[in-house]
């Protein structure tokens, strides 16, 4: 009798737990289910980690990093007039043949060995930079994959390095506690490598490899019998393979008519649903290309502006700029220089004050080493962030972005840079040294200087006495990285802060203002 009672007691105790577990699981399943429609996918909320991250790192690296031309060497190679044939001449010297000999971009693949690639060192560098997510381009427009793929042969796992370059980096990033980022530029690969119209007949006559059907998987275009439909089928298989093997936290896509074709919906729904079942918060970036029309519907994804191109003063959604670290192009071209860390920091501060963030793209050498100047920039940026990061990470916009109105900002810092298209960019060089930007975190407001003020007394106009009733009394003011007490006074024209003789850094200052609760 006691045995029966004991069994009954166990059943009655465990059964509710099992029922509750099943209910939670089923509810999770239901909540996690996204349909392959923009309406359904747009209901995916931006993960909190991404809102807080603000700063990320990636890289343009691949066959094109050979250093004989720009990142899109593959495209210009089949234009004999590009830079008066200079690129083609360098190519012929390198591979020992010409286009009419059947030589082409594919013959550069053996040069891409990544023999000095050290994913541990890469991940440690990212960690020291204080970036919160990182990765690199899994494939540029050339279509050569940097992961070990089983769905097509033109990848680093099967030729060239014969190594899972992306997978090795992902493993090391996760050991460092860094979120994983994947960028894909291969939606533009179809018809990317084609000779200009005036050279099509010559290409056919001389049997250039780009018009050879044998290479239609690597050079998918209409001249070699490539099918656009088959290309997009394979594109989806590639993306799903990356999703399944590496579980990236953030996916970014470059170019292409995603909205018009809608052939990415099944894969995007798959990405969201698979991640939700693992309890992983993932998301997708929504880039604004040169067409000035976002890749995806306006209510989907985190907005991305290349070099801040066409970004308005006020953006109604979480966003990030992506910039190259060299200022000379996206891939390694032989240039060893890099933007100074101060430029990166100022860009980051201004973006964060406006509700955005910054992603910086590295340009590694063909062998997998990162140029010293690029490393120096990241290390110095990280050093600044370790002291001042609390004014950046996890912050939100305050009532004010700067001491200027949006109209003044637009007039001063946004300019047209192209006569062909009405594209605009932000001119950070025109932002006065020491001008202020504001961020917020709870009851704390930070104001940061873009560079180092020339004056001994800094005036934060947005803390003027007339705003006192608007956001309350100031309890305390600190200069991050400085241990001494500050001399300050709140007057009608602003908050006056006397700068200490010895400043904590020579890049930018961050002041922490605690307000009365």
Domain annotation covers residue 12? no
Q: Which of 59, 56, 271, 283 is nearest to 165 (CA)?
A: 59
**Domain containing residue 508: CATH number:** 2.60.40.1180
443 shares a domain with 379: no
What total of structural domains would you count in the chain?
3
Q: What is the pLDDT of residue 23?
A: 45
| Residues of the chain below pLDDT 50 | 2, 9, 17-19, 21-30
Rounded to 5°, the CA angle 187-301-146 comes to 40
Domain annotation covers residue 414? yes
- Cβ(168)–Cβ(175) under 8 Å? no
The DSSP 8-state label assigned to residue 422 in this structure reads -
273 shares a domain with 214: no
Tokens 């550069």 belong to residue: 108
Which two structure tokens, joined as six digits, stand for 345?
């920091």
Domain annotation covers residue 155? yes
Q: Of 363, 391, 419, at which residue does a domain stop?
A: 391
Q: Which helix (H) or strand (E) holds 351?
A: helix 341-353
Question: Which residues does 42 contact at the CB level (< 8 Å), separation at least 6?
Answer: 297, 299, 300
Domain annotation covers residue 310? yes
205 shares a domain with 82: yes
Q: Which of 42, 47, 44 is nearest to 31 (CA)?
A: 44
Domain annotation covers residue 126? yes
Q: Which pTM does this prediction carry?
A: 0.90
164 shares a domain with 302: yes
- Cβ(250)–Cβ(277) under 8 Å? no
* Average pLDDT across the chain, whole number: 90
Q: Of 343, 364, 391, at which residue does a domain stop?
A: 391
Kindly report the number of other CB atoms within 10 A of residue 469's CB atom: 8
379 shares a domain with 479: no
Domain annotation covers residue 18? no
209 shares a domain with 119: no
306 shares a domain with 339: yes
Q: Give how far the C-alpha of residue 253 lies from the chain's centroid of Cα atoms, to the nearest Å.
A: 10
488 shares a domain with 351: no
Task: Say if residue 239 is exposed, middle or buried (CB neighbours under 10 Å; 0-12, 13-18, 19+).
Answer: buried
Q: Cα(32)–Cα(118) distance, rounded to whole angstroms?
A: 37
Q: What is the pLDDT of residue 467?
A: 67
Domain annotation covers residue 134? yes
506 shares a domain with 437: yes
Q: Name the 3-class secondary structure at 325.
A: coil
Question: Which residues does 92 contact at the CB level (< 8 Å), separation at least 6?
Answer: 98, 103
Q: What is the 3-state secondary structure (H, E, C) of 292-306?
A: CCCCCCCCCCEEEEE
Q: Cα(121)–Cα(385) distance, rounded to whole angstroms?
A: 20
Q: Name the 3-class secondary structure at 402.
A: strand
283 shares a domain with 149: yes
Per the structure, the complete domain to which residue 244 belongs is given by: 48-62+115-189+227-391
**Domain containing residue 232: CATH number:** 3.20.20.80
348 shares a domain with 233: yes
Domain annotation covers residue 43? no
Q: Name the 3-class secondary structure at 10.
A: helix
The backbone torsions φ and ψ at residue 427, rounded to the nearest 5 degrees and listed phi first, read: -100, 95
122 shares a domain with 107: no
């Amino acid at each position: 009798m006691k045995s029966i009672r004991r069994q009954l007691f166990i059943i009655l105790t465990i059964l509710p737990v099992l029922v509750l577990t099943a209910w939670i699981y089923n509810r999770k399943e239901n909540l996690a289910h996204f349909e392959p429609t923009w309406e359904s996918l747009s209901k995916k909320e931006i993960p909190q980690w991404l809102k807080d991250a603000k700063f990320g790192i990636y890289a343009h690296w691949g066959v094109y990093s050979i250093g004989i031309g720009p990142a899109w060497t593959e495209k210009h190679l089949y234009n004999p007039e590009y830079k008066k044939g200079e690129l083609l001449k360098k190519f012929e010297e390198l591979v020992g043949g010409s286009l009419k000999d059947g030589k082409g971009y594919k013959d550069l693949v053996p040069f891409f060995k990544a023999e000095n690639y050290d994913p541990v060192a890469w991940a440690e560098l990212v960690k020291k930079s204080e970036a919160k997510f990182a990765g690199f381009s899994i494939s540029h427009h050339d279509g050569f994959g940097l992961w070990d793929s089983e769905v097509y042969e033109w990848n680093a796992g099967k030729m060239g390095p014969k190594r899972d370059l992306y997978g090795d980096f992902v493993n090391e990033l996760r050991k460092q506690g860094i979120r994983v980022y994947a960028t894909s530029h291969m939606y533009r690969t179809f018809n990317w490598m084609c000779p200009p119209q005036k050279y099509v007949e010559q290409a056919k006559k001389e049997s250039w490899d780009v018009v050879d059907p044998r290479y239609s998987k690597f050079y998918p275009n209409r001249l070699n019998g490539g099918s656009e439909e088959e290309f997009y089928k394979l594109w989806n298989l590639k993306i799903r393979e990356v999703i399944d093997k590496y579980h990236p936290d953030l996916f970014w896509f470059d170019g292409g008519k995603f909205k018009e074709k809608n052939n990415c919906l099944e894969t995007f729904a798959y990405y969201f649903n698979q991640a939700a079942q693992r309890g992983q918060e993932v998301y997708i970036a929504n880039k604004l290309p040169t067409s000035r029309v976002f890749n995806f519907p306006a209510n989907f994804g985190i907005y991305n502006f290349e070099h801040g191109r066409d970004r308005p003063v006020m953006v109604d959604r979480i966003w990030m700029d992506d910039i190259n670290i060299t200022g000379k192009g996206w891939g390694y071209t032989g240039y060893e220089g890099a933007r100074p860390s101060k430029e990166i920091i100022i860009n980051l501060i201004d973006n964060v004050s406006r509700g955005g963030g910054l992603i910086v793209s590295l340009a590694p050498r063909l062998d997998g080493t990162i140029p010293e100047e690029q490393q120096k920039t990241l290390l110095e940026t990280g050093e600044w962030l370790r002291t001042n990061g609390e004014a950046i990470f996890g912050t939100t916009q305050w009532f004010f972005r700067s001491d200027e109105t949006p109209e003044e900002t637009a007039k001063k810092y946004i300019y047209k840079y192209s006569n062909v298209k009405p594209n605009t960019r932000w001119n950070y060089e025109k932002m006065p040294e020491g001008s202020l930007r504001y961020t917020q975190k709870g009851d704390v407001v930070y104001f940061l200087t873009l560079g180092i003020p020339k004056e001994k007394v800094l005036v934060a106009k947005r803390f003027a006495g007339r705003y006192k009733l608007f956001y309350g009394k100031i309890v305390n003011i600190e200069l991050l990285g400085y241990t001494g007490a500050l001399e300050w006074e709140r007057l009608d024209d602003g908050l006056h802060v006397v700068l200490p003789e010895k400043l904590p850094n020579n890049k930018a200052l961050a002041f922490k203002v605690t307000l009365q609760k």
